[in-house]
Amino acid sequence: MNKSGIGRPVIASLELTNNGRPVQFVLKTMQEVEAAQQPELHTPHRHNYYTIIWVREGKGRHDIDFRSYEVTDNTLFFISPEQVHNLQMEPGHEGYVMLFTADFVEKNGFQVDWLKESGFFFRCDDVAPLKIPGAEEANTLRQIMHMIEKEYQDRQKFFNEAIVSLLKLFVLECMRIREEYGLIFQERSHAKAQLVKQFKDLLDNKFAQWHKVAEYAAEMHITANYLNEVLSTETGMSAKDFILNRIMLEAKRFATYSNTSAKEVAFELGFDDPAHFSKLFRQHQGKSFTSFRTELQQV
């Protein structure tokens, strides 16, 4: 049982707003975002919406969960809900920031599952940024971005539907770039692959509540043994490993980006016994939660 009332995480979690009002889609230049000077944007934070950041010109560093990426001209970053990230740019940069909720794309004719399957957005695995290789590819993406910008500003009839269609076109062009230059995402549609997808989706939503393989298997109407067999065949990992890795991912986020105690983190992640959480963390990381955090602070 998750006892989240015991301690509150201090990682900033941002809702999608524009001028102080809740919205479902925002397109801004990086300069506009910088001018807003929101303190949360300059510290590690997460949000409940999708983000596409296109750095057209500029240098900096982008920390996404536990990986740091060098930012150079014409780099695209795709951030999913709940990922913790922190973008630090040197002066003189320019580009676009596109923000949108899952509800926005779903209600305007676009299945959010397609985004997840595109290979750009987080699915419990690392997703590297996309480097745009040349001027021709950059010009194509910029034309699409300008069309999105025009729809967003003009707000004519059906503009939301148009934005979602153009958003899909933007992601499709990114997929073409990736495949043309050898970074091919192998889409799999057979039954076992669909079970893996279903499990990962459940895991993202239930990792702090369900810690047992049988709980996921029951929801999927299959046996725990079959779920393990499918995951092992398709991914090389057991269901138990997936569950533990997802829990530890969140635990490391707390250690890295918050001051929440190990006991509080244990309750946040659904452990009735903090000692059990501490034992699992030590086994998984080779050190205690406190030591893990202390070493991070010394870097």
Nearest alpha carbon to residue 127 among 167, 173, 77: 77
DSSP string, 274-285: HHHHHHHHHHHH
The per-residue pLDDT for 230 is 92
The per-residue pLDDT for 119 is 84
Mean pLDDT of 231-251: 91
Nearest alpha carbon to residue 245 among 229, 225, 226, 231: 231
Strand pairing of 75-79 and 25-29? Answer: unpaired
The DSSP code for 157 is T
Please determine, for residue 125, whether its predicted confidence score (pLDDT) is greater than 70: no
What domains does the chain contain, in order, with CATH numbers? 12-180 (2.60.120.280), 191-298 (1.10.10.60)
Element housing 67 (H / E): strand 67-71
User: What is the share, in percent, of the chain residues with pLDDT greater than 70?
Assistant: 89
Nearest alpha carbon to residue 99 among 23, 175, 12, 43: 23
Please give the Cα distance from 255 to 10 (Å, whole number). Answer: 11
The per-residue pLDDT for 186 is 47
Give tens-digit pLDDT for 199-215.
998 998 999 999 999 99
Q: Most confidently modeled of 6-10, 28-32, 169-173?
A: 169-173
Q: Which of 30-44, 138-152, 234-248 has the lowest mean pLDDT?
A: 30-44
Q: Can you give the pTM of this predicted structure?
A: 0.76
At residue 182 the predicted structure's pLDDT band, cuts being 50, 70 and 90, is low
